[in-house]
C-alpha cells in the first residue's frame, strides 16, 4: 500500500545516498538469466529455490551477485576496481510445495578487481553507515573466513564436498546441533569428524584467541580476518568480531564472509563475502571480487513503527462548483510549479465529498475555489488538521504549505 511504499522509497533513498558517497556507481543487471549461469557455484539448496522460466532454460535471479559476475566476465575491459551498487528484486521459492512465491528487494555493493581486505572493510563500513542513517544503533558485525573452514575440512580428512559441509553447518541456528549432525551424516561425514567440526564452529573466545588458534589451519585465512579487524578500526566501525559459526549458505564464497545483525535474536539484515572464483567460472579470467547485500524487507520490518507515513499529499484543490474546475486546474498547475504534490477532483464530486476524500487521504491543506476566490484570483487555504482558513494568493498558499 502507498504508506508502505513511501517508507520503502525512503529506505532505498537513504541506502542509495550512502552507496554514492562511498563512490559506488549504479549498475543494473537483468532479472532473467539462463539457468546455466544461475546454477553455477550456488549450491544445491539455493539451486532448488530458483524460479524456472521457459521450460527451465531461463531462471529468475535469486541474488544480485551472480548476474554481476556474468556481466563482468563478459566485459573484461571495465576499469578495476569496478565499484557498483544495485538495488533490485530477487526471487526465491521458499515453500515450493505450496506453490507460493517470494519476491525480495536487495541492495548490493560490490568491489570487483581487488584481492585486498580494504574492500571488505569499506563494504562493512558502508553497510554500517546505511544502517546508522536508517536509525539503527544496536548492531553487530560477525566475520569468518572460508579459507579457514576449507583447511579444517581438509585436515580432518572429511570426504564430503567442503561446500556441502558448510551448507550443513550454516543451518546450526535454524535446525540445531541434532539437525546438523543428521545432515552431516547424510553427506557421509563420520562421527569423530562431525564432533570436531561442531566443536570448531562452537569455538568461543576473544578475536585474538580465535584467530591465533586458527592460524595453524590457515595462516592466510586468519591473517585476513586480523586485517579486516584492523581496517574496521580505521573506519571507526565497532562491534566487529570473529564468529566461527558464520558460514553463509552460498557455494561461491572463497574467503572472508560477514554478516550484520541488528540486536539479539533478530537475524541478519546484511551479509556478504568474497567470491574470487565466480567471475572466472563464467570465463572472465581471474578477477577477485567481494560484495555485501542489505535485505530491504528485513530492514523495513525492523524499522516498522519507527518511520512516519508516506510522502504526504500537500494540497487538494477543491472547486466549489463544477464551473470552477478550470480555475482549480489552473491553481493546481501553479502549485505544482512550486514543487508541491497536488490533487484536483476527477469524480465530479461536490465540495463536501471532495473535502471528505482529502481528509481520508491525509492531505494537509485544501485550496478552495468558488465565486469569491475566482474573482479575487486567490484561493481559500484551509488547514485540514485544525480547520484554519485564509484567503491568499497562490504564492502565499505555497509558502504556508511549505511551512
| Residue 186 Cβ vs its own copies, minimum distance, rounded to whole Å | 27
6 binds its own copies (CB under 8 A): yes
- If the CB atoms of residues 135 and 179 are measured against its own copies, the closer one turns out to be 135
- If the CB atoms of residues 162 and 357 are measured against its own copies, the closer one turns out to be 357
Residue 358 gets which letter from DSSP? H
- If the CB atoms of residues 13 and 212 are measured against its own copies, the closer one turns out to be 13
| Residue 315 Cβ vs its own copies, minimum distance, rounded to whole Å | 9
Q: At 124, which helix (H) or strand (E)?
A: helix 117-133
Among 35, 53, 172, 384, binds its own copies (CB under 8 A): 53
| Residue 382 Cβ vs its own copies, minimum distance, rounded to whole Å | 17
3-class DSSP assignment, residue 289: strand
Closest to 374 in 3D by CA, of 334, 316, 319: 319
**Secondary structure string (H, E, C) spanning 55-123:** CCCEEECCCCHHHHHHHHHHCCCCCCCEEEEEEEEEEECCCHHHCCCEEEEEEEEEEECCCCHHHHHHH
77 binds its own copies (CB under 8 A): no
103 binds its own copies (CB under 8 A): yes
235 binds its own copies (CB under 8 A): yes
Write each residue from 318 to 357 as x if it is in contact with its own copies (CB under 8 A), else as -, in one continuous string: -------xx--xx--x--x--xxxxxxxxxx--------x
Cβ atoms within 10 Å of 274's Cβ, excluding its own: 27
The length of the chain is 403
Among 46, 106, 114, 144, binds its own copies (CB under 8 A): 114
- If the CB atoms of residues 32 and 160 are measured against its own copies, the closer one turns out to be 32
- If the CB atoms of residues 179 and 326 are measured against its own copies, the closer one turns out to be 326
- If the CB atoms of residues 29 and 161 are measured against its own copies, the closer one turns out to be 29
Closest to 236 in 3D by CA, of 141, 101, 371: 141
Q: At 151, which helix (H) or strand (E)?
A: helix 146-155
φ and ψ at residue 76, rounded to 5 degrees: -65, -15
Among 39, 40, 45, 118, binds its own copies (CB under 8 A): 118
Closest to 331 in 3D by CA, of 321, 339, 342: 342
Of 276-315, binders to its own copies (CB under 8 A) are 310-311, 313
φ and ψ at residue 339, rounded to 5 degrees: 85, 10
- Grid cell 501553479 in the structure block, residue: 334
DSSP string computed for 309-326? PSSPP-EEEEESSGGGHH
- If the CB atoms of residues 201 and 299 are measured against its own copies, the closer one turns out to be 299
111 binds its own copies (CB under 8 A): yes
139 binds its own copies (CB under 8 A): no
| Residue 387 Cβ vs its own copies, minimum distance, rounded to whole Å | 21
- If the CB atoms of residues 24 and 166 are measured against its own copies, the closer one turns out to be 24
94 binds its own copies (CB under 8 A): no
80 binds its own copies (CB under 8 A): yes
CA distances to 80, 86, 126, 289 from 119, rounded to whole Å, are 12, 17, 10, 9
C-alpha span between 319 and 328 (Å, rounded): 6
C-alpha span between 200 and 153 (Å, rounded): 10
Residue 31 gets which letter from DSSP? S
Q: Total residues at the site for its own copies (CB under 8 A)?
A: 68
| Residue 360 Cβ vs its own copies, minimum distance, rounded to whole Å | 5
List interacting residues with its own copies (CB under 8 A): 1-2, 5-6, 8-9, 20-23, 25-28, 30-32, 51-54, 57-58, 60, 79-81, 83-84, 89, 91, 93, 99, 101, 103, 111, 113-114, 116, 118-119, 122, 234-236, 310-311, 313, 316, 325-326, 329-330, 333, 336, 339-348, 357, 360-361
Amino acid at each position: 500500500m502507498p504508506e508502505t511504499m513511501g517508507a520503502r522509497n525512503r529506505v532505498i533513498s537513504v541506502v542509495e545516498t550512502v552507496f554514492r558517497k562511498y563512490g559506488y556507481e549504479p549498475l543494473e543487471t537483468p532479472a532473467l538469466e539462463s539457468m546455466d549461469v544461475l546454477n553455477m557455484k550456488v549450491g544445491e539448496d539455493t539451486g532448488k529455490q530458483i524460479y524456472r522460466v521457459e521450460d527451465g532454460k531461463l531462471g529468475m535471479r535469486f541474488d544480485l551477485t551472480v548476474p554481476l559476475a556474468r556481466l563482468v566476465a563478459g566485459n573484461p575491459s571495465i576499469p578495476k576496481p569496478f565499484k557498483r551498487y544495485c538495488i533490485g528484486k530477487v526471487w526465491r521459492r521458499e515453500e515450493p510445495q505450496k506453490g507460493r512465491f517470494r519476491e525480495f528487494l536487495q541492495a548490493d555493493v560490490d568491489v570487483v578487481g581487488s584481492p585486498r581486505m580494504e574492500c571488505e572493510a569499506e563494504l562493512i563500513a558502508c553497510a554500517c553507515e546505511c544502517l546508522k542513517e536508517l536509525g539503527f544503533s544496536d548492531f553487530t558485525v560477525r566475520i569468518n573466513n572460508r579459507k579457514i573452514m576449507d583447511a579444517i575440512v581438509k585436515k580432518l580428512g572429511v570426504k564430503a564436498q567442503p561446500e556441502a559441509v558448510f551448507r550443513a553447518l550454516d543451518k546450526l541456528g535454524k535446525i540445531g546441533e541434532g539437525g546438523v549432525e543428521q545432515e552431516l551424516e547424510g553427506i557421509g561425514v563420520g562421527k569423530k569428524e562431525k564432533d570436531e567440526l561442531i566443536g570448531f564452529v562452537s569455538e568461543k573466545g576473544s578475536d585474538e584467541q580465535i584467530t591465533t588458534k586458527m592460524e595453524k589451519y590457515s595462516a592466510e585465512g586468519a591473517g585476513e580476518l586480523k586485517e579486516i579487524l584492523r581496517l574496521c578500526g580505521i573506519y571507526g566501525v565497532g562491534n566487529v568480531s570473529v564468529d566461527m559459526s558464520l558460514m553463509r549458505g552460498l557455494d561461491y564464497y572463497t574467503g572472508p564472509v560477514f554478516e550484520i545483525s541488528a540486536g539479539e535474536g533478530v537475524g541478519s539484515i546484511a551479509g556478504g563475502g568474497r567470491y574470487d572464483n565466480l567471475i572466472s567460472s563464467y570465463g572472465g579470467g581471474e578477477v577477485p571480487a567481494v560484495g555485501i547485500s542489505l535485505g530491504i524487507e528485513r530492514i523495513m520490518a525492523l524499522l516498522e513503527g519507527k518511520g512516519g507515513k508516506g510522502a504526504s499529499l500537500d494540497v487538494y484543490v477543491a472547486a466549489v462548483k463544477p464551473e470552477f474546475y478550470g480555475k482549480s486546474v489552473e491553481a493546481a498547475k501553479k502549485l505544482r510549479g512550486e514543487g508541491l504534490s497536488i490533487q484536483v477532483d476527477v469524480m465530479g464530486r461536490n465540495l463536501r465529498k471532495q473535502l471528505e476524500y482529502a481528509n481520508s487521504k491525509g492531505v494537509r491543506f485544501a485550496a478552495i475555489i468558488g465565486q469569491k476566490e475566482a474573482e479575487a484570483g486567490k484561493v481559500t487555504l484551509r488547514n485540514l488538521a485544525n480547520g484554519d482558513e485564509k484567503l491568499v494568493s497562490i504564492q502565499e498558499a505555497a509558502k504556508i504549505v511549505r511551512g
